[in-house]
Amino acid sequence: MQKFDAIRPFYDSEVNEALHGVANHPMMKAMMNFSFPELEDEVWKEQLKRTHSIRDFQCNFIYQTIQKVLERSSEGLTTSGFEKLEKNTSYLFVSNHRDILLDTTLLNVCLFEHGLVMTASAIGDNLVKKSFLNILAKLNRNFLVLRGLSPREMLQSSKLLSEYIGHLLFRENRSVWIAQREGRTKDGNDATNPGVLKMLGMGSDEANLMDYFKKMKIVPVSISYEYDPTDALKMPQLMAEANNEIYIKEKNEDFMTILSGIMGTKKRIHISVGDVLDKEIDQIAAENDNANKQIQALAQAIDDSILKNYKLWPTNYIAYDILNKTDKFSHLYKENEKSLFERRLEMRIGSDNPIAVQGILAMYANPVVNKLKYQDAI
């Protein structure tokens, strides 16, 4: 399918040549020495050069890397909802988005451990400008979302992306991961951009758009980190937006954010998958005959699932109480957890920047605010 060549990951037939090309790259050496500290370089290089499929690369190398990341930078990953998914079945996972690489990689770890179809995952082409990162992304079954296009190019790109996602789901029986909005949530408010759903719907040849979305088997995903390792890095953009200023990224900012996300302290992590949105889509179709209203209602249904299933940690309750000068949730955290949170906040932001302090507190508190809308969920 040459029409997808500009955005697709490697085919299995291209994997071995790509691995030969990067086996001696210093970043590959750093990654492998981190993942397999007990092995001589020649041992993992030989194993790499005998790898001929994305699945083998993911299971034998990336999976081990993520286990080391979890061991070094977290207090464990827990899950809920995966037992509801069927084996050998493709799903469209629409996820909240907190970390550039880990959100989708951790989901794939969970899918692998539950014997389920792993995903092809969307990634902005701005994040893989470096040649090695581009190759690594394609080896890890990432497909590209092209950024910085003119409106006309954007329309063509969105149509191609939509067709490719349909091709993966229906022709290749491959699950797909896509974020609910462009870019990571910086303020803790997880909300689905209806534009993402409009893009997905462009590939439909169904008479009824809701029939197409139902066929996709949409599964909302909630990922939550007790500590966001990139929380302080998100502040400059939030502060610029608060001052109505245009935020311009530093040259290597995305790369540094990727590294911080991978190696920074996360404490506990939880991934919850919701139910397939079957009944919800039937109800939306029955209640609305206007396509725009249907898409708005579907975005809301995704949000409802993500917010209800979002795992709240002591850090969220602590931030809510500090921000609102209350002790409403003090029964849900210990005093030493509060002290640790406050000390970390001071170390990362300092006490002389009240706007940034408020920003980080809101980032952790907003999931509580959003979950309070569903009283039964807290």
Q: What is the pTM of this model?
A: 0.92
What's the confidence (pLDDT) of residue 232?
76
Residue 377 pLDDT more than 60? no
pLDDT band at 270 (very low <50, low <70, confident <90, very high): very high
Mean pLDDT of the chain: 92
What's the confidence (pLDDT) of residue 247?
58
What's the confidence (pLDDT) of residue 194?
96
What's the confidence (pLDDT) of residue 289?
87
In whole angstroms, what is the distance from residue 224 CA to residue 205 CA?
A: 36
pLDDT in tens, 170-194: 999 999 999 999 877 878 899 999 9
Q: Which two tokens stand for residue 100?
A: 């550039």
All residues at 6 or more sequence positions from 175 whose CB lies less than 8 Å from its CB, including other chains: 90, 91, 92, 93, 111, 116, 117, 118, 119, 120, 168, 169
Lowest mean pLDDT among 82-96, 107-121, 354-368: 354-368
What's the confidence (pLDDT) of residue 376?
66
pLDDT band at 237 (very low <50, low <70, confident <90, very high): low
Contacts of 155-163 spanning 24+ positions with Cβ under 8 A:
158/199, 158/202, 159/202, 159/203, 160/3, 160/4, 160/6, 160/7, 161/7, 161/122, 161/199, 162/199, 162/200, 162/201, 162/202, 162/203, 163/3, 163/4, 163/202, 163/203
pLDDT in tens, 277-314: 999 999 999 998 899 999 999 999 999 999 999 999 99
357 vs 277, residue with greater confidence: 277
Mean pLDDT of 349-357: 80
pLDDT in tens, 324-335: 999 999 999 999
Lowest mean pLDDT among 81-90, 199-208, 239-248: 239-248
